[in-house]
A and B are shown apart, each in its own frame.
Chain A
Amino acid sequence: MALLEIDGLSVDFAASQRLIHALRDIRFSIERGRIVGLVGESGSGKSTLSLAILRLLAPAARIAGGTVRFDGVDLFALPDEGMRALRGERIAMVFQDPMSTLNPVLTIGAQMIDVQFRHAHVARAEKRVRAVALLKRVGIPDPERRIDDYPHQFSGGMRQRISIAMALLSQPDLLIADEPTTALDVTLEAQILDLLRDLRRDFAGAILLISHHLGVVAEICDEVVVLYAGELVEQAPVAELFANPRHPYTKALLDCDPGRLAADARGFPTIPGRMPDLGEARTRCVFVSRCPLAIERCRAEPPAVTTVAPGHRASCHLLSG
């Protein structure tokens, strides 16, 4: 049994007059110990998916269908208390902007000690020792002293390390990292990725890494899920996806990756057109308006996700024959 099984998940947002379909019929699973990358451009539903797993969606959002099973438990059927018990304990999350994910008026020690509130029997001094150990683990120099500093006394990269340390305090089974390196510059990004890769060795859980940076995904993920306009368009093991992308959107996305450009390339390639209106009913392929290979059938009916190779799925009429 997979650690996380997402089956037919759909999320709608209530807009002023109509419904916005932020996620439609998402289906994939994450095995224990794996790092799964979730890629897609802005607005493709990456963050909505992570918040839906934690049941922390904004009030305007509604789960329109599907189930999320974590270790066999249907998360949407859990009572609020049961869900809260899972958060931070078995599923933890690291957010995008390290500058705003720490409470500005509390020392990081106070926050890291407070977050261990489930362990009422453990002495405060012991919690502090654990916090120091984790800060050391994520590479904060001189953690015994710095644990009493406030967030504003740390740089962005340091703060992201602290956020990761906080998320790992309870040794969760699943760590969701929502663009953990997007707000950081390139050298810090490399350091955080090294940290995540390092953590893999002694952290037994799975990681769902959300990113719009293909280079990041290529470096540390085992598997990749590509989202477009709220739909899963392709899923494959990382090497397979980069070597043999099957969906036209994935191909276009890879062509746009600055890291894969030829040395003498002039300008950045882009994907012409823009994302479809997420309020539309699902009557055709979501990528049809930007797809260079679109055929008549793409306009007539939406494609289903089909398996094109072992572990490799994509949703395109050209693949289903």
Chain B
Amino acid sequence: MPSEARPSALRRLLADPLGRFGLALVLVILITAIFAGAIAPYSPSAIAIPDRLQAPSFAHLFGTDQLGRDVFSRVVLGARIALEVALVAIALALAAGGALGLAAGYGPRWLDSILVLVFDTIRSFPTIMFALALVTLIGPSLETVIVIVVATFAPGYGRIVRAQTQALKHAEFILAERSLGAGAARILAVHVVPNIVGPLFILASMDIPVVITIEAGLSFLGFGVRPPTPSWGTVLNDGYAFIGNTPWIIVAGGLPLVLSTLGFTFLGEALRDAIDPRLRKEI
């Protein structure tokens, strides 16, 4: 019997062409974000009015915008902002939703009812309306975007964790653990959480592009990161005004959004197929 489950899951992931493609895209985006400062040839906010709205060339791979800023450099640094928001916000949403979901799923029924009510109330709010309200209250910033994303995603994770916890709560191995004297904290930390992190992480990886899109969308509308900071959404907004004459700006802002969505979605789906034994084509 093979005892190494992890390498074989990775091998199955790489055997899937979509998995390889997704992994490659995600790696490219990650490397771009991490080494953005070294990759970008210009400062993303260096204004050069004489060079404004230039077509793509070897000097400016994606051309320049209306202030003469290098679009390629802005897109490269935008990757860092996009991933920063996505990873931080998803991690916070997972932590908050996970903790509340565990409490709802394992705790007393009254607590469950209250938390489910809270989850559903938050989920019933349209994201954009909630975002507008929050931006009006605390002003547009990176942190505002993160707060919006956490509030939007945490209830969903909470509901999933709650359902999984409730299903596990009555599993016989949990009863067996209780019969050996384990308390609630130990059962949740040692036995429930390891059983639910796998599917939760896959779900989270598929939510990353959604968050990237939300960040870009809010920045496009002017509710996200502040203008001097490069974001794919602000690049899109810059290009939007000149779409007739200089369409490359909007392409340069939109393409990374498409590629990151494809990359994370393919990777997430391939991971799910590789890890879930029921979806395996062979044993």
Contacts and interface: CB of A to CB of B under 8 A. Distances in A.
B100 to A, nearest CB: 22
A54 B178 CA distance: 9
Interface stretch (A95-103, A189-197, A264-272, A303-311): A95-103
Interface in A128-169: 148-150, 153, 163, 166-167
A88 B173 contact: no
Interface residues of B, number: 21
Contact of B179 (A54, A106, A118): A54
B129 interface: no
Interface stretch (A79-87, A209-217, A273-281): A79-87
A93 B176 contact: yes
A95 B175 contact: yes
B258 interface: no
B194 interface: yes
A88 B181 contact: yes
A73 interface: no
B186 interface: yes
B276 to A, nearest CB: 13
Given A104-B195, A106-B194, A114-B190, A92 B179 contact: yes
A87 B172 contact: no
Residue from the set A84, A166, A167 with the largest chain B CB neighbour count within 10 Å: A84
A4 B186 CA distance: 28
Nearest to B174: A103
Residue from the set A92, A103, A106, A153 with the largest chain B CB neighbour count within 10 Å: A103
B3 A148 contact: yes
B191 interface: yes
B1 interface: yes
Contacts, number: 69
Interface in B130-168: none
B3 A95 contact: no
B182 interface: yes
Contacts of A100: 171-173
A84 B183 contact: yes
A163 B181 contact: no
B180 interface: yes
Nearest to A117: B186
Interface in B73-118: none
B234 to A, nearest CB: 43
A97 B172 contact: yes
Nearest to A151: B173
Contacts of A84: 181, 183
B182 A115 contact: yes
A148 B172 CA distance: 22
A255 interface: no
B195 A105 contact: yes
Nearest to B186: A117
Interface string A45-63: 0000000001010000000
Nearest to B3: A149
Contacts of B177: 103, 115
A89 interface: yes
Contacts of B182: 88, 115, 117
A218 to B, nearest CB: 27
A115 B182 CA distance: 7
A166 B191 contact: no
A86 B181 CA distance: 7
Given A103-B195, A104-B195, A153 B1 contact: yes
A87 B183 CA distance: 10
Interface string B1-36: 101010000000000000000000000000000000
Contacts of A167: 180
Given A103-B191, A104-B173, A114-B186, 14 more contacts: A54-B179, A56-B178, A85-B181, A88-B180, A89-B181, A92-B179, A93-B176, A95-B179, A103-B190, A115-B177, A115-B180, A150-B5, A166-B176, A166-B180
Give 10 nearest A-B pairs by CB, closest first: A88-B180, A88-B181, A87-B181, A93-B179, A100-B172, A101-B176, A105-B194, A103-B173, A153-B1, A101-B172
23 contacts: A54-B179, A56-B178, A56-B179, A85-B181, A87-B178, A87-B181, A88-B180, A93-B179, A93-B180, A95-B175, A97-B172, A101-B176, A103-B173, A103-B194, A104-B195, A105-B198, A106-B191, A114-B186, A115-B180, A150-B5, A153-B1, A153-B3, A170-B180
Interface of A: 54, 56, 84-89, 92-93, 95, 97, 100-106, 114-115, 117-118, 148-150, 153, 163, 166-167, 170
Interface of B: 1, 3, 5, 171-173, 175-183, 186, 190-191, 194-195, 198
